[in-house]
Amino acid sequence: MRKSIYNVQQRRISHWVIVAFLLLAFSGKSQIDTSLTLVSKMDFQAQHELHDGNLVHLMGFTETLGAPILLPSKTLIFEEGDSVHITLWNMSQAASHTIHLHGLDVDQANDGVPHLSFEVAHDDSGHYYFEAPHPGTYLYHCHFTSVLHVQAGMYGLLIVKPKSDPNLTWENGYAFDSENAWLMSELDTNWHHDTIINAPHDPQSTTHPILPYYPQHFLVNGKSEGQLDAFPLVASVGEKVYMRLANIGYYGNEVIFPAGMNAQIISSDGRPLPNVVNSDTVKLFPGERYGVLLEADAEFNDVVQINYVNMNTHQLENTQEIDLTISGFIGVDELGSNDPLVYPNPANQHVKLPLSGTWRVLDLAGRELTQLNAPYFDYDVSELPVGTYILRNVDRPEWSVKLQIQR
Ligand SMILES: [Cu+2]
């Protein structure tokens, strides 16, 4: 009898321990540990394909020893406040490597700058710890003989997102519908021959032989020229597109959006700008990042231009283009002319709206022109200028259709 009472009490106590643990584990103050392993590696055989079909050696960060080195290395994404642990295994040639957390407010011991922080020797591992700071776009790269190791490919993007919503720029910031990240750099094939990248590191030597830098390849996310055709920028009219732009090259960049994208520069180097800058051209010096909001107000096709400017001569050396397609309307189903919601479509004088309910007639800027109570078999559109309109059911907004007026 006594024993069973004791057992009940013990069970109650253990229940409270579990409840207390769960409360702690799920309380707002708890943090998610984000642990990952990166391997610093080098290619023993040239495997990275350039737009002209030539292959080059890279050094880079991979998630496993067997994984191929990608250019850039994997984009690391964390949430604000995450406790991040990164273990770096150095499996490349004899040189040391580090992970520099470019632009993040981390303590010096974890910032990966040689002589101020630790270096990870060949065949050894090191451990980085930080709390993911302000949401924004950052970079990580090796900082050991960094001019060479960054050119060799040891870099990637690091993105911090707000906890509450991945489609917010930061807490109480701008909401967006989609996002793209473009990391610009260049590549000089002469620096990627195995005599340089694969050269055994001499710890006694204080200098490293590096050739003059004359890049032949101007990259966006490691690609250039025809390779970029596979990565167009595609959005709908009215879609809020967040562009994360970053430059880890040794040239300056000018990213030029078509005027119809209504580009607004809202953040720089992981911080909100005090004032929004309305500018189609975004200039990025090496190491800089900018956040740009785009929103098209019409359908069109164009290109985004990316200029590469030599920092010594200020000469424009190269321009890359990324195809831009604005098609369709966000929140509006693409429906054909035999769509039963409204016909004829395109229309000239009159349209019929056979489904009952109240319909809003909007222009492309979202301004309401009028409301119609359907069924409506003779809506006179002869006064509407030629163009595109949206008919949206008040009670069922998913019943939306693009109405074309043609004459
Ligand atoms: Cu390195």
pLDDT tens for each residue of 148-206: 899 999 999 999 999 999 999 999 999 999 999 999 999 999 998 866 776 665 556 65
HSE (side-chain half, CA atoms, 13 Å) at 331: 14
Higher-confidence position of 157 and 349: 157
Question: If you ran DSSP here, which 8-state letter would residue 200 be given?
Answer: P
Is 302 in contact with 258 (CB distance < 8 Å)? Answer: yes
Where residue 29 falls among pLDDT bands split at 50, 70, 90? very low
The alpha carbon dihedral of 32, 73, 292, 390 has a sign of negative
- Measured in Å, residue 147 CA sits from the centre of ligand 1 at 9
- Measured in Å, residue 189 CA sits from the centre of ligand 1 at 18
Residue ranges with CB less than 5 Å from ion ligand 1 = 97, 142, 144, 149
Is 197 in contact with 150 (CB distance < 8 Å)? Answer: no
Encoded tokens for 404:
């074309």
- Measured in Å, residue 129 CA sits from the centre of ligand 1 at 19
- Apex CA 253: angle with CA 80 and CA 309, to 5°? 155
At 56, give phi and psi (nearest 5°). Answer: -130, 155
Is 42 in contact with 197 (CB distance < 8 Å)? Answer: yes
Is 381 in contact with 375 (CB distance < 8 Å)? Answer: no
CATH superfamily, with its number, for domain 183-329? Cupredoxins -  blue copper proteins (2.60.40.420)
CATH of region 33-175: 2.60.40.420
Is 69 in contact with 47 (CB distance < 8 Å)? Answer: yes
Nearest alpha-carbon partner for 145 in 209, 70, 214, 211? 209
Is 153 in contact with 71 (CB distance < 8 Å)? Answer: yes
Mean pLDDT (the chain) is 86
| Interacting residues of 344 by C-beta distance below 8 A, sequence separation 6+ | 337, 351
Q: Strands 155-161, 73-79: parallel, antiparallel or unpaired by DSSP?
A: parallel
Encoded tokens for 394:
């008040």
In whole angstroms, give the CA distance from residue 49 to residue 65: 20
At 151, give phi and psi (nearest 5°). Answer: -60, -35
- Measured in Å, residue 86 CA sits from the centre of ligand 1 at 16
Where residue 129 falls among pLDDT bands split at 50, 70, 90? very high
Three-class secondary structure of residue 279 per DSSP = coil
Which letter, b or e, does each residue of 56-94 get, where b requires 16 or more Cβ atoms within 10 Å of its Cβ?
Answer: bbbbbbbeeeeeebbbbbbebebbbbbebebebbbbbbe
Span of 76-90, 257-271, 317-331, 391-405 with lowest mean pLDDT: 391-405
The percentage of the chain sitting over the pLDDT mark of 70, rounded to a whole number, equals 85
Is 153 in contact with 73 (CB distance < 8 Å)? Answer: yes
- Measured in Å, residue 143 CA sits from the centre of ligand 1 at 6
Where residue 313 falls among pLDDT bands split at 50, 70, 90? very high
In whole angstroms, give the CA distance from residue 78 to residue 135: 9
- Measured in Å, residue 306 CA sits from the centre of ligand 1 at 28
Stretch (H or E) spanning 59: strand 59-62
3 CB neighbour count, 10 Å cutoff: 6
